[in-house]
Amino acid sequence: MNVGMIGLGKLGMPVALAMSLKGHDVMGYDVDARKMQKECFPHQEIGPNGEPSIEALLRESDLRFGSLDEVVRHAEIIFVAVQTPHQPRYEGVTTLPAERCDFDYRHLVDAVSNLSSAIETNGEDKVVIVISTVLPGTVRREILPRINDRVKLCYNPFFIAMGTTIRDFLNPEFVLFGVRDDEAAATAERFYRSLHGRPFYRTSIENAELIKVAYNTFISMKISFANTLMEVCHKVPGCDVDQVTGALTLATTRLLGPQYMRGGMGDGGGCHPRDNIALSWLARNLDLSYDWFENVMLCRERQTAWLADLIEEHHRRRGYAHRTVGIYGRSFKAGTNLTIGSPATLLANILGERGFEVQMYDPYVDEGPCPFDREGVYFVATNHPDFAAESWRFVPGSVVLDPWRFISRRTDVEVIPIGIGTDRDGSSLEMMLDEKSPVLVRG
Ligand SMILES: NC(=O)c1ccc[n+]([C@@H]2O[C@H](COP(=O)([O-])OP(=O)(O)OC[C@H]3O[C@@H](n4cnc5c(N)ncnc54)[C@H](O)[C@@H]3O)[C@@H](O)[C@H]2O)c1
């Protein structure tokens, strides 16, 4: 396939080389003319077969360079790998500044604007695939207003590590594709199929933006947790961090697998909250540099308080004179009557502190039928399948907040799924994509 690469830096050049090595006719362009050469590559990158440097591969490759207009004429799909830099004080090499800042999108905006004009001048539709790392919402805010209809835009961030860019690009865990044009996605998928058969995860552009940075911060989260254990082990005689983390790595079903990777209510049960709270005591006792466990518990508590905010907001919006709200579910685990450490009870307590009269009903805990009978705001705290059944009777006319996103739209109540961003007009990203997203296509 004829491919273009805009931006020939640490990411763009090795990826352009990888595509060329796979037989694609790749033409690159960079505003910095010094980057458009194959004589040397200043960054340490290993080749696809473990070659210690990519310089020889580059020199021998068919990769070529051209002006922006030439790349546009040449390419069927054009990747954009332009920098989105941060200021030096946001690199993590100094103590964390009090104020925070987004990435700098000026280079990316310039690159896409110029590319869009060149595509317009050329007069043919082109698939443009942005790879640069951005925060969620950026493409919609910064890029979409600057492109014309001939640009078929996709967002396709890479999960590669510097030094092993080519290997990671050719052997990804999955290809992440943010899409707003089905035809463009199909062309891109055809291209990726020529490289490997890995899963192609198609979703909205906004989801892809978030998935990319969530992936990175997930790694940071794992590392900081392991380092917390290292500090505990250093301070408790007889502990050895490698033995502790070594055991945890064996838990590939529950800890290091897909389990628990679902937005919903906070953690519950007779062990987890209390263990965190006890470990927070230990953290204070050992004078740990950071109380991770308190952090986890505060996060759980504030997220539950945020759910209470949503309930209040909908209560206000409906203008109910009464102060009653209802919670479906008391137990922390679906299909059980286990209520110990339940986040449903935490939610009820927070609402109670705010002056609400909170009613709770759980078919696995409470005797008799559900007593709720007043139109109002209800919250489904436990994902008992019963609540998602069409036959489940909610109080007609009520609002039902669903943090599990498992209750289908119904005509008798207004179901509000939590965790699906909506525009001001109320339309969700999924709706904008005609409910075709997300789609995981297996390789
Ligand atoms: N380097 C990595 O390993 C890596 C991994 C994943 C994601 N990313 C993301 O990819 C993006 C690029 O990263 P990088 O490390 O390659 O940056 P880089 O600074 O090394 O390279 C960017 C290149 O784009 C060129 N450029 C700037 N404006 C241009 C324009 N208008 N037209 C054409 N070329 C232009 C620059 O001259 C430079 O050569 C960033 O958003 C980064 O966060 C990088």
One-letter amino acid of 331: S
Neighbour tally for 123: CB within 10 Å: 7
The Å distance, Cα 162 to ligand 1 centre, comes to: 12
Does the Cβ of 6 fall within 6 Å of ligand 1?
Answer: yes
Name the stretches of the chain with pLDDT < 70: 424-443
By most ligand atoms within 8 Å of CB, the mutation choice from 82, 146, 219 for ligand 1 is 82
Give me the domains of the chain, ranges plus CATH numbers: 2-211 (3.40.50.720), 298-418 (3.40.50.720)
* 214-248: b (≥16 Cβ within 10 Å) or e: eeeeeeeeeeeeeebbbbbbeeeeeeebeeeeeee
pLDDT digits (tens, 9 = 90+) for 168-201: 999 999 999 999 999 999 999 999 999 999 999 9
| 13 within ligand 1 shell (Cβ under 6 A) | no
In the DSSP assignment, the letter for residue 111 is H
Would you tell me the crossing angle of helices 272-285 and 292-318 to the nearest 10 degrees? 130
DSSP β-bridge partners for residue 27: 4, 64
303 lines ligand 1 (CB under 6 A): no
DSSP 30-64: -SSGGGS-SS---S----TT--S-SHHHHHHS--E
- Residue 423 pLDDT: 74
Give exposure, 17-51, as e/b (b: 16+ Cβ within 10 Å): bbbbbbebbbbbbbeeeebbebeebeeebbbbeee
Q: Which atom of ligand 1 has the smallest separation from the CA of 12? A: 16
Looking at residue 270, what is its pLDDT? 95
Nearest CA to ligand 1 atom 25: 7
- Residue closest via CA to ligand 1's atom 20 equals 9
Ligand 1 geometric centre to CA of 238 (Å) = 47
Query: Partners of 316 in the beta sheet?
Result: none
Question: In angstroms, rounded to a whole number, what is the distance separating the alpha carbons of residues 105 and 132?
Answer: 10
CA of 18 to the centre of ligand 1 (A): 16
For the CA of 29, the closest atom of ligand 1 is 33
pLDDT at 433 (0 to 100): 38
| Nearest protein Cα to ligand 1, atom 17 | 83
Write the residue with the smallest CA distance to atom 4 of ligand 1. 11
CB atoms within 10 A of CB 266: 23
Q: Are 279 and 343 in contact (CB under 8 A)?
A: no
Residue 425 neighbours by CB distance under 10 Å: 5
Look at ligand 1, atom 13, and give the residue with the nearest C-alpha.
Answer: 83
The strand pairing partners of 368, in sequence order, are none
The closest-lying atom of ligand 1 relative to the alpha carbon of residue 131 is: 10
Residue 400: per-residue pLDDT = 98
pLDDT at site 58? 96
Measured by CA distance, the residue closest to atom 18 of ligand 1 is 9
Q: In what helix (H) or strand (E) does residue 15 lie, and over which residues does it extend?
A: helix 12-21
* Ligand 1 contact via 387 beta carbon (within 6 Å): no
Going from the Cα of 75 to the center of ligand 1, the distance in angstroms, rounded, reads 19
Q: Cα(33) to centroid of ligand 1, in Å? A: 14
State which ligand 1 atom lies nearest to the alpha carbon of 107: 28
pLDDT at residue 390, rounded to an integer: 96
Q: How far apart are CA 402 and CA 419, in angstroms?
A: 9
133 CB less than 6 Å from ligand 1?
yes
Can you tell me the distance from the alpha carbon of 230 to that of 362, in angstroms, rounded to the nearest whole number?
41
Contacts of 331 (CB under 8 A, 6+ apart): 337, 338, 339, 342, 344, 362, 364, 365, 382, 384
CA of 40 to the centre of ligand 1 (A): 17
